Amino acid sequence: MNIVVGVTGGIAAYKAVQLVRLLVKDGHDVHVVPTDDALRFVGAPTWEAISRHPVTTSVHDDVARVRHVALGQEADLVVIAPATANTIAKMAAGLAGDLLGTTLLATRAPVLIAPAMHTEMWQHPATQANVATLRQRGVRLIGPDSGQLTGDDSGPGRMSEPEAIHAEVTRAMVAGRDLAGVRIAISAGGTREPIDPVRYIGNRSSGRQGVAVALAAADRGAAVTLVAAHIDEGVLGQVSAHPGIRIERAGTAAELGERMDALAHEADVVIMTAAVADYRVASVSDHKLAKEDGAPVLELVENDDILAGLAAARRPGQLIVGFAAEMPTADESVVERGIRKRRRKGADLLAVNEVGWQAGFERPDNTVSIIGADDTVIATATGSKREVADALLDAVRDARGRA
Ligand code: CTP
């Protein structure tokens, strides 16, 4: 495998020497990309000797090979150890002022970071916001550990040991493209059921969770078609340029159902994250309703259950996955409700999360329990929608392995 090890300017840079040594020993092709600051801690000759590749910090060296993008494009994985607060901030902002910055922008490979800094810097809201941004984009964190820092202080901020980073990198490489070649159809966002030409019945779904599943699946090698109902401004932009994702639009539940049914003929996995309206207006007015017409009485008719239909028509080996947003009731927990819903719909997996006025919608973080075909909770995940997406895809991968 082709691995880029980014080294930034912290005292823990000396520990990254051991990480590079372990990766080279495993037979990987390792390119070290230090920042200028990192070279004040460990010099280029050391990195060149242990990685057996030339080392530079500048985008102006090896221009003929367009090295500033080639390293990122060719990488199977990028790991930054140590990742300083400054580098984390630069990554969050997408700055590309040196070779490490351009490499990070040019790569589509998984990126792992091992932060190292003083506790105050780690806990600073700016650092935490930057880390949240990176996690949302799929960057994975290793550590930081809690322990002795440079000087007399101790607390969270210590870089994980090189052996632990090496183990995480190895795990990420195995899992890296575990969905390669798998065709996945994903629905996302909220449907809008028209009342008249300018009004509709909608819901609060932002589409974030579905978009996160699409991104994670594509990053893991799947060929993804995303059927997008109404999705918040900016959220769809995160996936529109991804080469592994094709986007189709759907407005109403009926349109979404039609698209998903068509895609299911080809798909190995179908994931319904869309918030599908259960009802539509029986007779849509073709002129804009006016107050002088009097208060309208809307008759609603039930929409087809798309997920249940997909599950009933499931091809052998095909996996059908649903999502459910639930509130606990007096006599049933969220998970119990999810178990009943999975059975009712016939899905292979159902990810259930708790919603309320405050929880679940329009927020970057989420907690879900994933219910399997045997009515047990096979996994729970809390974190960014991307982390929840990856946990769901782990369950998809495992269920496909059993099929
Ligand atoms: N779903 C669907 N078609 C519908 C309604 C829902 O395919 N007409 C899918 C959603 O995409 C989701 C799952 O079913 O994957 C659960 O959605 P939810 O709205 O919780 O299901 P409902 O059947 O509407 O359940 P409830 O009665 O609790 O609203």
CA-nearest residue for atom 20, ligand 1, is: 324
Ligand 1, atom 18, residue with closest C-alpha: 324
The pLDDT > 70 percentage for the chain reads 97
What is the Cα–Cα distance from 43 to 73, expressed in whole angstroms? 25
Using only C-alpha atoms, the chain has a radius of gyration, in whole angstroms, of 24
Q: By the 8 A CB rule, do 129 and 378 touch?
A: no
* Rounded Cα–Cα distance for residues 392 and 353 (Å): 12
Can you tell me the distance from the alpha carbon of 282 to that of 286, in angstroms, rounded to the nearest whole number?
12
Which of these ranges, 75-89, 211-225, 227-241, 295-309, has the smallest mean pLDDT? 227-241
CA 51 – ligand 1 centroid, Å: 53
Q: Give the confidence band of 14 by pLDDT, cuts at 50, 70, 90.
A: very high
Q: 356: pLDDT confidence band, cut at 50, 70 and 90? A: low
Q: How many other C-beta atoms lie within 10 A of the C-beta of residue 224?
A: 28
The boundaries of every CATH 3.40.50.10300 domain in the chain are 183-402
Ligand 1 atom closest to 187 (CA): 11
Secondary structure element (H or E) that encloses residue 191, with its range: none
Q: Residue 154 in 3-state DSSP?
A: strand
Q: Which residue has the CA at smallest separation from atom 22 of ligand 1?
A: 278
Is residue 185's pLDDT more than 60?
A: yes
Decide: 304 and 260 in contact? Cβ < 8 Å: no
Measured at the alpha carbon of residue 392, what is the angle toward residues 389 and 396, in degrees to the nearest 5? 130
pTM: 0.76
Tell me where in the chain the CATH 3.40.50.1950 domain(s) lie.
2-175
CATH class of the region 2-175:
alpha beta
Say yes or no: domain 183-402 is CATH 3.40.50.10300.
yes
CA separation for the pair 20, 29 (Å, rounded)? 10
Residue with the smallest CA separation from ligand 1 atom 6 is 276
**Tokens found for residue 41:** 């801690």
How far apart, in whole angstroms, are the C-alpha atoms of residue 26 and residue 40?
28
**Which member of 203, 303, 353, 366 is catalytic?**
203
Q: Give the Cα separation of 322 and 341 in Å (integer).
A: 9
Q: How far is the CA of 154 from the centre of ligand 1 (A)?
A: 49
**Candidates 260, 300, 307, 352: which one to mutate for ligand 1, based on the most atoms within 8 Å of Cβ?**
307
Which atom of ligand 1 lies nearest, measured to the CA of 321? 15
Q: What percent of the chain has pLDDT over 90?
A: 75
Q: Which of 230, 256, 278 should be mutated for ligand 1, with most atoms under 8 A from CB?
A: 278
Residue 33 has pLDDT above 70, yes or no: yes
User: Which residue's CA is the nearest one to ligand 1's atom 16?
Assistant: 324
User: Cβ < 6 Å from ligand 1: which residues?
Assistant: 253, 272, 274, 276, 278, 303, 305-307, 322-325, 345
Q: How many CB atoms lie within 10 A of CB 295?
A: 6
303 is catalytic: no
Average pLDDT, the chain: 92
- Residue 172 sits at φ, ψ, to 5 deg, of -65, -35
pLDDT digits (tens, 9 = 90+) for 235-288: 887 787 777 899 999 999 999 999 999 999 999 999 999 999 999 999 999 999
- Residues 6 or more apart whose CB falls under 8 angstroms from that of 155 comprise 118, 119, 146, 149
The yes-or-no verdict on residue 357 having pLDDT over 90 is no
Which residues pair with residue 200 across a beta bridge?
194
Pocket test for ligand 1, best of 192, 203, 270, 305 (most atoms within 8 A of CB): 305
Q: Average pLDDT in the 19-45 region?
A: 96
pLDDT at 151 over 80: no
Residue 336 CB burial class (10 angstroms; 0-12, 13-18, ≥19): middle
Asked if residue 360 has pLDDT above 60, the reply is no
- Least confidently predicted of 289-293, 295-299, 359-363, 384-388: 359-363
Cβ pair 230, 275 in contact under 8 A: no
